[in-house]
Structure 1
Amino acid sequence: MYAIRLHAFGPAENLQYETLPDPAPGPGQVRIAVAAAGVHLVDTMLRKGQTGPFPLPELPTIPGREVAGTVDRIGADVDPSHLGARVVAHLGAVPGGYAALAVTEVARLHEIPANLDSAEAVAMIGTGRTTSGILQFTELGPASVAMVTAAAGGIGTLLVQYAKNAGAMVIGLAGGPAKVDQVRRNGADLAVDYLRPDWPEQVRERIGDRGASVLFDSVGGEIARAALGLLGKGGQHLIYGWSGQTSDEQVRQSLSVDELAARGVTSHVVIGPPMLARAGGDLRVLEKRAMAEAAAGRLRPAVHRFPLAEAAAAHHALETRATTGKVVLIPQPNAPRVGLPSWPTHGTGNRPERGRAVD
């Protein structure tokens, strides 16, 4: 099979496109002929040798933990009815997604809804799962005003859709005209370019004195501080990513606690353990919610596709914020071996958003 392997921690160019033996499923496992594999910001951290929610892998390794495709082989003790099924799965702590074939436990499988293709299903099992986790911390309705930073990203796209479905007014922040247009097309009541210095005034003019009720923040830094000033009394600041910061503690330290307290504004980091605790310790609960929302047509992910052979370009694009939506790798039969192309082969043509956020 074709696969991407990492032999040494370092830059994106270290991701090598290789031919490897086909894996075989063991007892209780299935093999998936991969039609789409998700790329996560955590993948870029691990590639560079940085620890995160997962330990550093032993090298060489096949990165990636989100796959969708068709079950083409089953192991012992697996119901034969799984053969030929369209499925999506999060592989958990075991990588191996950047490949034409991937093996995982049958208990991790979800059936792909008929209205989703494989790339969209991968987006929902990863980005959709995280979105469902974030939404555990707030209630949205017709009286709500929701601000979403990085609103053209994978999670931002879904948050805008969810808030609109709940009847809320939605303010989407993005970097550059093309991304702002995408946020507007996604349904935001107001889409603003946070690279413009007057963007807070644009928001204030639209929402008036009441202020926003919730800020979904994956950017942090100066943009978050400006957005916090737009929250109304009793507003929520939900942090699930950061830019220009290296930890959630530094994000907290950048906020004026006294000022927030005087306005009754609360600020919480919701990614990681808090999200898992709200889900009863079971991330599969969030996966099921995400897939149900997609199956019902209430959430539709944005996807940025790259050929599997161009995983290095995909990593580079994600790290430089030159993507929109969830980054997904598509295996292609007999694809040639390639290196990192001249940038921006797969870019959106607009100025990348500053900083980084979780997908």
Structure 2
Amino acid sequence: MYAVRLHAFGPAENLTYEPAEDPLPAPGRLRIAVAAAGVHLLDTALRAGHQGPLPERPALPTVPGREVAGVVDALGAGVDGLWLGRRVVAHLGFAPGGYAELAVTDVDRVHEIPENLDFAEAVAMIGTGRTALGIVQFAEPGPDDVVVVPAAAGGIGTLLVQYAENAGATVIGLAGGAAKAARVRAAGADLAVDYTDTAWPAKVRAHLGGRPATIVYDGVGGEVARQAVALLGPGGRHLVFGWSAQGIAEGEGYLVEGLSESVLGPAMLRKAGGLRALELRALAEAARGRLRPAVTRFPLARAAAAHRALENRGTVGKVVLEP
């Protein structure tokens, strides 16, 4: 098989597409002929040498990637033969290996893909989708809410816009540039604004006619988040799930006591009943057509270009590699 390997921490160019030994599934595991592999902002941080939220940096050389979809082509001992040939998707957890033509994982991590989802959409929902649904459980939007979504053209942001729109909320989506703002409008936002325009907060206030925001779903941090939080009225909620504008592990300056709540990691899982429950719900929502992920696709051989585009905010929705 071919895979993308990282031999030294550093820039995106350190990702190399090269031949690799075919992995074999151990007992209780199966192998997936990968048709789509998810790329996450965390992947770019790990590639650069940052530990991020993981217990430790990956040992080198490594094949990055933790989200895969494809067809089961080999089974380890003890795995039900009915899995062979099925279209499946899996989040690999802390174990990397997704940027490859073949990947192995525990059978307990695998979900069958609904018939009306393609591989890239399934990858988006198994990671990004489960995160979006984990976030909204802390502040379920309704018809009386005004929801602000910074980075609304991103993978999570697109789904949060759709979820809030389905709930009847007034949805304000923020995106970097006119083209991305247009995509946010198409996703269902009542108002989509370009946050690179310094007048964007005034445009939002004018649209709302003095009505305050009630929820900010924030994966950005930085100045955009500060301005979004300023739109909140009394009793508003600022849910923080990332800091892409300020780096992978920073972003304290915009948090407001009494408004801001981190919903990352263990808190999300305790409330949801575990990762598998979120994954099942995310796939079901996509299968029903209630949530449709946006996807930016790259060939597996161009993983370095995918990393650069993601770091430079040149993508829309979930970034996916396709062998």
Category of TM-score, reference length = shorter chain = over 0.9
Secondary structure at 1:119 match in 2 = helix
Secondary structure at 2:85 match in 1 = coil
Query: Distance between the aligned counterparts of 1:20 and 1:229, measured in 2?
Result: 51
Is the contact between residue 225 and residue 254 of structure 2 (CA under 8 Å) also seen in structure 1? no
Which residue of structure 2 aligns with residue 145 of structure 1? 146
Secondary structure at 2:158 match in 1 = helix
Call closer, same or farther: CA 1:327–1:246 in 2, change over 3 Å.
Answer: closer
Which residue of structure 1 aligns with residue 8 of structure 2? 8
Give the drift of 1:244. 4.4
1:130-154 Cα offsets, whole Å, 9 max, x none, are 1011011012111111110000000
1:65 equivalent in alignment to 2:58: no
Which residue of structure 2 aligns with residue 234 of structure 1? 235
Specify the code of the residue in structure 2 equivalent to 1:318. L
Give the drift of 1:322. 0.8
Is the contact between residue 35 and residue 70 of structure 2 (CA under 8 Å) also seen in structure 1? yes
Query: Normalised by the size of structure 1, how large is the TM-score?
Result: 0.87
Kindly report which structure 2 residues correspond to 1:117-128, keeping only aligned pairs within 5 A, or say none. Answer: 117-128=118-129
Specify the code of the residue in structure 2 equivalent to 1:287. E
1:141-187 Cα offsets, whole Å, 9 max, x none, are 11111110000000000000000110111000101010011001111
1:155 equivalent in alignment to 2:147: no
State the 4+ residue runs in structure 1 displaced beyond 6 angstroms.
Answer: none
Query: Distance between the aligned counterparts of 2:301 and 2:252, measured in 1?
Result: 40
Is the contact between residue 45 and residue 248 of structure 2 (CA under 8 Å) also seen in structure 1? no
1:90-140 Cα offsets, whole Å, 9 max, x none, are 011111000000001111001111111000100000100110110110121
Specify the code of the residue in structure 2 equivalent to 1:268. E
Which residue of structure 2 aligns with residue 49 of structure 1? 49
Specify the code of the residue in structure 1 equivalent to 2:33. A
Is the contact between residue 89 and residue 122 of structure 2 (CA under 8 Å) also seen in structure 1? yes
1:268-308 Cα offsets, whole Å, 9 max, x none, are 1112222122223x211111111111111100000000000
Which residue of structure 2 aligns with residue 355 of structure 1? none
Call closer, same or farther: CA 1:115–1:51 in 2, change over 3 Å.
Answer: same
Which residue of structure 1 aligns with residue 133 of structure 2? 132
Which residue of structure 2 aligns with residue 295 of structure 1? 287
1:270 equivalent in alignment to 2:271: no
Which residue of structure 2 aligns with residue 29 of structure 1? 29
Kindly report which structure 2 residues correspond to 1:1-359, keeping only aligned pairs within 5 A, or say none. Answer: 1-54=1-54, 55-246=56-247, 251-255=251-255, 257=257, 266-280=259-273, 282-331=274-323
Query: Distance between the aligned counterparts of 1:244 and 1:89, measured in 2?
Result: 28
Query: Distance between the aligned counterparts of 1:222 and 1:52, measured in 2?
Result: 22
Q: Name structure 1 gaps, 5 residues minimum.
A: 332-359
Call closer, same or farther: CA 1:49–1:79 in 2, change over 3 Å.
Answer: same
Call closer, same or farther: CA 1:255–1:104 in 2, change over 3 Å.
Answer: closer
Query: Distance between the aligned counterparts of 2:62 and 2:263, measured in 1?
Result: 30
* Percent identity (aligned): 66
Specify the code of the residue in structure 2 equivalent to 1:152. A
Call closer, same or farther: CA 1:247–1:37 in 2, change over 3 Å.
Answer: closer
Is the contact between residue 149 and residue 161 of structure 2 (CA under 8 Å) also seen in structure 1? yes
Query: Distance between the aligned counterparts of 1:110 and 1:254, measured in 2?
Result: 38
Give the drift of 1:256. 5.2
Give the drift of 1:243. 4.0
Query: Distance between the aligned counterparts of 2:168 and 2:176, measured in 1?
Result: 25
- Aligned residue pairs, count: 322
Query: Distance between the aligned counterparts of 1:50 and 1:295, measured in 2?
Result: 36
Query: Normalised by the size of structure 2, how large is the TM-score?
Result: 0.96
Give the drift of 1:251. 3.2
Query: Distance between the aligned counterparts of 1:247 and 1:305, measured in 2?
Result: 23
Query: Distance between the aligned counterparts of 2:21 and 2:269, measured in 1?
Result: 36
Q: Which moved more, 1:153-162 or 1:285-294?
A: 285-294
Give the drift of 1:247. 6.6
Query: Distance between the aligned counterparts of 1:194 and 1:59, measured in 2?
Result: 38
Give the drift of 1:252. 3.6
Query: Distance between the aligned counterparts of 2:81 and 2:266, measured in 1?
Result: 36
